[in-house]
């Protein structure tokens, strides 16, 4: 089917400016967008098309991965259309649908819901009521612009808890075919996260030792230096558990821990990941303080749109165990936080020591900002006659050899393209979302009933000093 365009609800938001337009610019420069492909940004502001293009121009200059050139932007901008509307006003969707038809974008359209989940329902309903007035157009077989093979991409958080996630999904399914609903988790589009599977399954030196016989522990750290900036309203209702752990860190954990998928299909990979979630060991009330630590940076309560008495966590450390043959007894530590000492995401696989006093080896998978793999191992200290052991490292720096990362597609670029190609392997699957929410909800309940401790930390530090 032809891909004719993408309609971005939330076209004047941070995500659209920082990530989606730069990603679409890259796809344009690579020749990955069909000639007649259009991009409609929807917002409430009173912009002319020209105003909007000027704004996009500035953001694209700053954030596009590929070299920005005026010549390329001149071509790219012909694709961009701004449409002003109030997304909560059902009457205004008739105009939008006419606009889509006038721009000949009906076939293979993608709707990108880059807005808060509360707007998903009204948008779908508005599209349906405007476009599907006749009986025929109401059918899921129809390829009109809000039904049939039209795709929808939704951004995390997929709800605030299991119930709200289910409600969002149920609601979307009443408008779109299940196959056409894309749950985006942009971490799944990151180069080194995709690379974990190759690293594990295409290397005998790793494949054979990736289990509890050799591995002592796994640490997955996603540290951020940014605070909540302008997102206080959203973040204060969400917190680090829902914002980062339930999705990004759980996805990384499942790829690190899964069994080898039986083939390379999206289904086989997703099933292998889901099996990890299903095997997560239950936590008992007595254990809660040993498996979950929540923190908040000092000054968070003064952030814009944050409750001055907020107990929302901006830091989480969590210890998980996976109850299966491969991982029994190996702790997985997940940590993430805002306003920490550095921006760094990595997975550290620590191996058991071979004998007393000998340091265990480790493999560090660097996700960002540097991309690469480091292996630490032991040698005899050069020049010593006795067996004095010295730890050395071998460092493969992927980002160094890729000319300033210009060759690696960025997450959103890769994911928008995957959606255009109907490839769901890099998207979260509903079953995973459901199981992970279930687990997180139970942990939150236990925490509220049996702990409720919140540890404060200074901005720019490693997080609460009590953290494990």
Total residues at interface with ligand BG6 (CB under 6 A): 4
- Closest approach, Cβ 272 to ligand BG6, in A, equals 23
Q: Is 156 annotated as a binding residue?
A: yes
Q: Is 186 annotated as a binding residue?
A: yes
CB-nearer residue toward ligand BG6: 226 or 392: 226
SS3 429: coil
State the virtual CA torsion across 80, 86, 89, 92 in degrees, nearest 10: -40
d(CA 396, CA 365): 10
CB-nearer residue toward ligand BG6: 226 or 311: 226
d(CA 5, CA 128): 18
How many Cβ atoms from other residues are within 10 Å of residue 4's Cβ? 19
Confirm or reject binding of residue 243 to ligand BG6 (CB under 6 A). yes
Question: What does 20-62 look like in DSSP terms, one character per residue?
Answer: IHHHHHHHHHTT-S-TT-EEEEEESS---HHHHHHHHHHHHHH
Q: Is 190 annotated as a binding residue?
A: yes
**Contact yes or no for 4/105 (Cβ under 8 A):** yes
CB-nearer residue toward ligand BG6: 244 or 288: 244
Token pair 């889901």 is found at: 274
Confirm or reject binding of residue 410 to ligand BG6 (CB under 6 A). no
State the virtual CA torsion across 139, 145, 150, 153 in degrees, nearest 10: -120
Angle between helix 430-450 and 162-173 (nearest 10): 160
CB-nearer residue toward ligand BG6: 45 or 343: 343
411: which residues sit within 8 A by CB, 6+ positions away? 186, 187, 188, 189, 190
Q: Is 338 annotated as a binding residue?
A: yes
Bridge partners, 217 (sequence order): 350
CB-nearer residue toward ligand BG6: 243 or 313: 243
Residue 248 among the catalytic residues: yes
Q: Is 44 annotated as a binding residue?
A: yes
- Closest approach, Cβ 247 to ligand BG6, in A, equals 7
Active-site residue, from 28, 183, 248, 341: 248
- Closest approach, Cβ 369 to ligand BG6, in A, equals 9
For the window 117-156, what string marks contact with ligand BG6 as x by the rule CB under 6 A?
---------------------------------------x
For the window 195-224, what string marks contact with ligand BG6 as x by the rule CB under 6 A?
-----------------------------x
Which residue number is nearest to ligand BG6 in terms of Cβ? 243
Closest CA relative to residue 20, chosen from 67, 78, 80: 80
User: Which parts are annotated binding residues for NADP(+)?
Assistant: 44, 156
In the complex, the residues that contact ligand BG6 under the rule CB under 6 A are 156, 224, 226, 243
User: Which parts are annotated binding residues for substrate?
Assistant: 186, 190, 224, 243, 338
User: Which parts are annotated binding residues?
Assistant: 44, 156, 186, 190, 224, 243, 338
The residues carrying an active-site annotation are 248
């Amino acid at each position: 089917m032809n891909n004719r365009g993408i309609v971005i609800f939330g076209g004047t938001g941070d995500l659209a400016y920082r990530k989606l337009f730069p990603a679409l610019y890259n796809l344009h420069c690579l020749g990955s967008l069909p000639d007649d492909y259009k991009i409609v940004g929807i917002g409430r502001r009173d912009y002319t098309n020209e105003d909007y293009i000027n704004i996009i121009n500035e953001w694209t200059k700053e954030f596009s991965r590929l070299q920005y050139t005026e010549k390329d932007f001149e071509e790219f901008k012909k694709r961009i259309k701004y449409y002003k509307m109030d997304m909560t006003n059902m009457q205004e969707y008739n105009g939008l649908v006419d606009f889509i038809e006038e721009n000949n974008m009906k076939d293979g359209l993608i709707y990108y819901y880059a807005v808060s989940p509360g707007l998903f329902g009204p948008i779908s309903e508005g599209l349906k009521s405007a476009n599907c007035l006749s009986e025929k157009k109401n059918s899921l077989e129809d390829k009109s612009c809000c039904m049939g093979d039209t795709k929808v991409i939704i951004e995390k958080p997929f709800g605030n808890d299991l119930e709200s996630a289910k409600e969002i999904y149920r609601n979307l399914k009443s408008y779109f075919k299940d196959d056409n609903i894309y749950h985006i988790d942009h971490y799944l589009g990151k180069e080194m996260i995709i690379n974990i599977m190759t690293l594990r399954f295409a290397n005998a030196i790793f494949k054979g030792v990736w289990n509890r016989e050799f591995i002592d522990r796994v640490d997955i750290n996603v540290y951020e230096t940014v605070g909540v900036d302008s997102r206080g309203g959203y973040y204060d209702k969400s917190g680090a558990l829902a914002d980062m752990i339930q999705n990004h860190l759980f996805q990384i954990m499942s790829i690190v821990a899964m069994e080898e998928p039986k083939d390379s299909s999206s289904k086989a990979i997703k099933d292998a990941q889901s099996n990890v979630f299903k095997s997560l060991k239950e936590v008992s009330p007595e254990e809660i303080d040993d498996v979950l630590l929540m923190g908040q940076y000092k000054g968070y309560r003064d952030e814009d749109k944050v409750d001055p008495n907020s107990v929302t966590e901006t830091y989480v450390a969590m210890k998980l165990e996976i109850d299966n043959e491969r991982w029994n007894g190996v702790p997985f530590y997940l940590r993430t936080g805002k306003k920490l000492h550095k921006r760094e995401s990595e997975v550290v696989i620590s191996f058991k020591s071979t004998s007393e006093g000998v340091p265990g080896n480790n493999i560090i998978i660097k996700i960002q900002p540097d991309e690469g793999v480091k292996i630490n191992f032991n040698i005899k200290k050069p020049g010593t006659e006795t067996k004095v052991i010295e730890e050395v490292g071998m460092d493969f720096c992927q980002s160094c050899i890729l000319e300033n990362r210009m060759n690696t597609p960025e997450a959103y670029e890769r994911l928008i393209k995957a959606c255009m190609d109907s490839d769901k392997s890099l998207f979260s699957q509903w079953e995973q979302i459901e199981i992970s929410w279930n687990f997180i909800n139970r942990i939150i309940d236990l925490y509220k009933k049996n702990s409720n401790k919140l540890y404060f930390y200074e901005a720019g530090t490693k997080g609460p000093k009590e953290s494990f």
